[in-house]
Amino acid sequence: MIDPVVSTDQLAQCLGEADLRVVDGSWFMPAEGRSGQEEYLRAHIPGAVFFDIDAISDKTSDLPHMLPTPDAFAQAAGGLGLTRDVDIVVYDSFGIRAAARVWWSLRAMGFTRVFVLDGGLKKWLAEARPIETGEAHPRAGVVAPLFEGSLVRSAEDVRELLITGGARLVDARGAARFRGEAPEPRAGLKSGHMPGAANVPFDQVVGPDGTLRPAEELKAIFAAAGVDLAHPIVTTCGSGVTASVLALALARLGLDDTAVYDGSWSEWGALEGAPVAIGP
């Protein structure tokens, strides 16, 4: 079993190597009033390119940062110098949040040598490690389109698994949103959760220093939420970002085939007739 995260020490030792690519995947909710790209330009890990999950997305969908077509993704990844014959380390400025979405997106598009920096830029800066400013100018690569559909679920897939029980939905949103006690940050969405879903807020699996919790703690967290790790799992959240954090946590436990519901509550909460549960 290969751990999906790497430490700041490990990354520092490998910076500059020919078969390594570093990616800044920082992203923020509109209400946070921050720009991942602007912050990248002000400070990033040397050699890092910026992966914009909103720009590299399905432009035909009105849902936020949905996966684009394999062709479009391959073109964007190649333009950033990301190819399948190198190791890719993704980080974000939160610690572990949007980096997990980039990690999952790359894996869903056939990239296997992808890791997340444990603690992200926050830990890197706290350790007074080197940074750069401004734009990067990567050497473009040629990437063939691929798609690992087993890692992605649609609304139709979720409807089916609610009927068949083929997988357990695990929701990464905060408890108040999950129970329907707090309004959704995106307008026009119902409150609540998919019937039968478990709730593991993503900040439970990430420690206060922004690092992913150890395996034994992760097992206890999922067990406390009533999640059977021996049963297939599909993660969900508001828009597929923090659902990817849960997928990353499960990958640390050896469950590296966990699927993410790409549309998540941004889609489900607006679907007419989609079943919704309120409460625990």
- DSSP result, 81-122: T--TTSEEEEE-SSSSSHHHHHHHHHHHTT--SEEEETTHHH
Q: Is the pLDDT of residue 49 over 70?
A: yes
- What is the model's pLDDT at position 190? 96
Give the confidence band of 258 by pLDDT, cuts at 50, 70, 90: very high
CA separation for the pair 184, 190 (Å, rounded): 7
- What is the model's pLDDT at position 1? 66
Q: What share of the chain is helix, strand, coil (3-state, %, to 5)?
A: 35, 15, 55
Answer positive or negative: Cα dihedral of 36, 37, 38, 42: positive
- What is the model's pLDDT at position 236? 98
Answer positive or negative: Cα dihedral of 149, 154, 160, 166: positive
Mean pLDDT to the nearest integer, 188-197:
96
CA distances from 111 to 87, 104, 148, 219, 247 (A): 9, 9, 9, 27, 16
- What is the model's pLDDT at position 192? 98
CATH 3.40.250.10 domain residues, the chain: 5-147, 150-268
Mean pLDDT to the nearest integer, 121-126:
97
Give the confidence band of 29 by pLDDT, cuts at 50, 70, 90: confident
Mean pLDDT to the nearest integer, 89-105:
97
Task: Tell me which of 1.10.10.10, 3.40.50.720, 3.40.250.10, 3.30.470.30 is the CATH number of domain 150-268.
Answer: 3.40.250.10
Q: Is the pLDDT of residue 225 over 90?
A: yes
Give the confidence band of 202 by pLDDT, cuts at 50, 70, 90: very high
Contact 205, 245 (CB under 8 A): yes
Q: How many CB atoms lie within 10 A of CB 17?
A: 11
- What is the model's pLDDT at position 30? 83
DSSP 189: P
**Mean pLDDT for the chain?**
97
- What is the model's pLDDT at position 31? 84
Q: Is the pLDDT of residue 17 over 90?
A: yes
Closest CA to 132 of 15, 47, 9: 47
Q: Is the pLDDT of residue 164 over 80?
A: yes
193 forms beta bridges with 277
- What is the model's pLDDT at position 86? 97
Contact 49, 138 (CB under 8 A): yes
Q: Is the pLDDT of residue 81 over 80?
A: yes
Whether residue 237 lies in the annotated active site: yes
Closest CA to 157 of 22, 268, 249: 268
Give the confidence band of 251 by pLDDT, cuts at 50, 70, 90: very high
- Environment class of 195 (CB within 10 Å of its CB; exposed 0-12, middle 13-18, buried 19+): exposed
Q: Which of 49, 82, 237, 248 is catalytic?
A: 237
The class of domain 5-147 in CATH terms is: alpha beta
